Amino acid sequence: MQFSIWSFVGAIAFLVLGPVLGAFLAGADRKISAGMQGRVGPKILQPYWDVRKLMEKEDATVNGAQDLFVKLYLFFVVLSGVFFFAGGNFLLVVLIQTLGALFLIAAAYASRSPYSELGAEREIAQVMSYEPMVLLVAIGMYMATGSFMVSNLTTLDVPLIRYIPLIFIGFCYVLTIKLRKSPFDISMAQHAHQELVRGVVTEFSGKTLAMVEVSHWYENIMFLGWTAMFAVWAGGWVAAVVTVAVALLIWFLEIWVDNNFARVKWQAMLKTAWIVALVCGTANIVYLLFI
Averaged over successive runs of 10 residues, the pLDDT of the chain (291 residues) comes to 73 95 95 90 92 86 84 96 94 95 92 85 93 95 94 92 96 94 82 60 86 95 96 90 95 94 90 96 92 76
Q: Specify the pTM.
A: 0.92
Q: What is the pLDDT of residue 134?
A: 96
Helix-helix angle 2-36:236-258, to 10 degrees: 30
Q: What is the pLDDT of residue 282?
A: 92
Q: What is the pLDDT of residue 270?
A: 94
How many Å apart are CA 101 and CA 165, to the nearest integer? Answer: 27
151, exposed or middle or buried, with CB in 10 Å at 0-12, 13-18, 19+?
Answer: middle
Q: What is the pLDDT of residue 279?
A: 96
Amino acid at 93: V
137, exposed or middle or buried, with CB in 10 Å at 0-12, 13-18, 19+?
Answer: buried
Q: What is the pLDDT of residue 1?
A: 40
Q: Which of 242, 247, 236 is nearest to 156 (CA)?
A: 236
Q: Maximum Cα–Cα distance for the chain, whole Å?
A: 61
Would you call 149 helix, strand, or coil by DSSP?
strand
pLDDT digit string, tens, across residues 154-198 = 889 999 999 999 999 999 999 999 998 989 988 876 665 555 456
Q: What is the pLDDT of residue 193?
A: 53
Q: What is the pLDDT of residue 112?
A: 80
